[in-house]
């Protein structure tokens, strides 16, 4: 019966080619607008590291000014201080943990004729690589011993390896960063998460840094953060960088911990609370106790990583599809009612109301799917244009891509559009009294 109905629908489409083209164009337009809009939400909002997101927690503490809350929406600083990081890193509760911050350092090529280049650097602990599932092409991260010392080791990005070493296995070679020679222990495979989940501050679609080096180089190399620094209390006199690191209330570190289950997360939260209560005795943390251990995905939601305008545009695009479908109600209605005599014959010959309803709804859904197919092609075009647009900001060539989920979404959207456009006309035509439209004379 489905095949029969599809054949009838096909007949009917070919019978009024202009009308059919108009309806199909309407649905194609609707799907072609709504699918890319949903794709942007899907791509930006999807779990960037699904295999690990449930165990990764971001640590925040309200170490801010006793007089006024932090001006951000959450009311607490987005990062932590160096001195607090040193203390809470002593906890054994997390399975893995890392503080990190971005910096900008010069690397000096062996060839004196090539100008030094400024590279993006991230200082991390060895746990960073397994915690965030960082993929390696050659070698690996460093070990805990290298963290502590710190050893003169470095992990470089695929692109930097290509630039410096022509893409060959450079493990064991050295590069000069600022005033040190560091040995390459790992080269990353190409790694371009769409959301840079380990650093969600600022533009979260930036690409990962070119260089990862042991965190503890911060002191001997006096490395300053090139990211967001936030402070409320100036220090007396003119302290050196090292002095200020250990005594300052400036927050600039992002702290991540891996906690395998909620019980551990609670235990860690208790640990933080205990630490802050102790600090309060020394006159720090004068604000009400407010420590947060936030799962990655919750943090993404809280910081609105998917920009509100994306959501607004997606909402409007879906409404657009609905209006486009509403428009088709009129066209289908006219088309179906013009066919009332034929429906009368079918009813006389034994078609039940539901059979007629089904026949016409299937016609609408067929139109919906054809329109949806065209809309999908259109979506691909729209996404290509959008990728060009976003490339300037994100430097990702193909930020948005139609994947299976999106194809499925387009199919569902077109079926929904077909249903919105078709249910009322199909119901109208099937509930016409059969006798009235039979040509009796």
Site for another protein in 114-133 (CB under 8 A): 115-118
- Bridge-based pairing of strands 291-295 and 180-188 is unpaired
Are 194 and 399 a contacting pair, CB within 8 Å? yes
DSSP state of 134: -
Q: How far is the CB of 155 from another protein (least distance, A)?
A: 22
The distance of closest approach from Cβ of residue 354 to another protein in the complex, given in angstroms and rounded to an integer, is: 7
Question: Among the candidate windows 167-175, 232-240, 258-266, 399-407, which touches another protein by CB under 8 A?
Answer: 232-240
- Residues with Cβ within 8 Å of 404's Cβ and at least 6 positions away in sequence, in order, are none
Site for another protein in 418-437 (CB under 8 A): 424, 428, 433-435
Query: Closest by alpha carbon to 63, among 86, 79, 41?
Result: 79
Residues 146 and 246: their CA atoms lie apart, in Å, by: 22
Q: Is 378 exposed, middle or buried (0-12, 13-18, 19+ CB in 10 A)?
A: buried
Residue 308 CA to residue 212 CA, distance in Å, equals 32
Token pair listed for 351: 């078609």
Strands 136-139 and 56-61: unpaired
71 binds another protein (CB under 8 A): yes
Q: In angstroms, give the least distance from the CB of 146 to another protein.
A: 26
In the list 162, 326, 402, 415, the residue contacting another protein (rule: CB under 8 A) is 326
List, in sequence order, the alpha helices (H) in 339-352.
340-348
Q: Which of residues 360-399 bind another protein (CB under 8 A)?
A: 389-390, 392-393
Q: Judged by CB, which is closer to another protein: 108, or 136?
A: 108
Q: If binding is defined by CB under 8 A, does position 234 make contact with another protein?
A: yes
Task: Output DSSP code: residue 225.
Answer: P
322 is an interface residue for another protein by CB under 8 A: yes
Q: Of the two residues 53 and 117, which places its CB atom closer to another protein in the complex? A: 117
Site string for another protein, 2-31 (x = CB under 8 A): --x------xx--x------x---x--xx-
Bridge partner list, 108: 176
- Using the minimum distance from each CB to another protein, give the nearer residue, 260 or 341: 341
Point out which span in 41-49, 63-71, 272-280, 371-379 binds another protein (CB under 8 A): 63-71
- For residue 336 the two structure tokens come to 């179906």
Which residue of 41, 201, 247, 329 would you call a contact of another protein, by CB under 8 A?
329
Mode of pairing for the β-strands spanning 117-124 and 211-214: parallel
* Residue 236 touching another protein (CB under 8 A): yes
Restricting to residues 237-296, name those near another protein by CB under 8 A.
238
- DSSP reduced 3-state for 237: coil
- State which of positions 286-315 bind another protein (CB under 8 A): 308-309, 311-313, 315
Between 67 and 404, whose beta carbon lies closer to another protein? Answer: 67
For another protein, the closer of residues 51 and 113 by Cβ is 113
Identify which range of 316-324, 361-369, 398-406, 407-415 contacts another protein by CB under 8 A: 316-324
Residues between 72 and 111 with contacts to another protein, criterion CB under 8 A: 104, 106, 108
Minimal distance, residue 98 CB to another protein, in Å: 25
Rounded Cα–Cα distance for residues 427 and 430 (Å): 5
Q: Distance (Å, rounded) from C-alpha 193 to C-alpha 293? A: 23
């Amino acid at each position: 019966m489905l095949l029969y109905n599809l054949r009838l629908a096909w007949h009917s489409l070919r019978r009024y080619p202009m009308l059919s083209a108009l309806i199909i164009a309407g649905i194609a337009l609707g799907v072609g607008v709504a699918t890319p809009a949903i794709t942007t939400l899907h791509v930006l909002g999807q779990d960037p590291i699904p295999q690990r997101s449930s165990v990764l927690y971001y640590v925040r503490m309200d170490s801010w000014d006793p007089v006024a809350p932090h001006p951000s929406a959450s009311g607490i600083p987005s990062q932590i201080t160096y001195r607090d990081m040193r203390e809470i890193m002593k906890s054994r509760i997390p399975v893995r943990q890392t503080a990190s911050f971005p910096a900008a350092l010069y690397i000096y090529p062996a060839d004196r004729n090539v100008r030094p280049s400024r590279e993006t650097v991230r200082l991390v602990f060895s746990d960073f690589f397994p915690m965030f599932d960082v993929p390696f092409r050659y070698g690996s991260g460093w070990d805990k011993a290298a963290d502590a010392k710190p050893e003169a080791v470095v992990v470089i990005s695929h692109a930097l390896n290509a630039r410096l070493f022509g893409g060959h296995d450079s493990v064991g070679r050295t590069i000069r960063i600022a005033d040190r020679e560091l040995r390459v222990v790992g080269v990353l495979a190409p790694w371009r998460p769409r959301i840079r989940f380990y650093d969600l501050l600022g533009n979260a679609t930036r690409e990962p840094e070119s260089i990862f080096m042991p965190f503890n180089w911060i002191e001997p190399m006096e490395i300053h953060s090139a990211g967001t620094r936030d402070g409320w209390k100036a220090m007396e006199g003119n302290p050196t960088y090292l002095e200020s690191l250990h005594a300052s209330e400036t927050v600039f570190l992002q702290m991540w911990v891996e906690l395998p289950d909620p019980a551990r997360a609670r235990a860690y939260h208790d640990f933080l609370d205990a630490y802050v209560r102790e600090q309060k005795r020394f006159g720090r943390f004068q604000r009400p106790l407010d420590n947060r251990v936030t799962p990655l995905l919750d943090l993404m939601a809280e910081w609105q990583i998917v920009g509100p305008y994306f959501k607004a545009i997606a909402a409007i695009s879906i409404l657009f599809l609905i209006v486009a479908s509403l428009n088709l109600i009129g066209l289908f209605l006219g088309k179906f009612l013009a066919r009332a005599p034929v429906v009368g014959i079918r009813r006389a010959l034994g078609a039940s109301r539901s059979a007629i309803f089904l026949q016409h709804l299937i016609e609408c859904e067929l139109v919906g799917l054809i329109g949806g197919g065209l809309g999908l092609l259109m979506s691909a075009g729209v996404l290509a244009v959008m990728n060009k647009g976003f490339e300037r900001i994100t430097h990702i060539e193909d930020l948005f891509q139609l994947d299976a989920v999106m194809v499925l979404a387009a199919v569902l959207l077109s079926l929904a559009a077909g249903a919105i456009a078709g249910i009322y006309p199909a119901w109208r035509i099937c509930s016409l009294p059969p006798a009235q439209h039979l040509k009796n004379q």
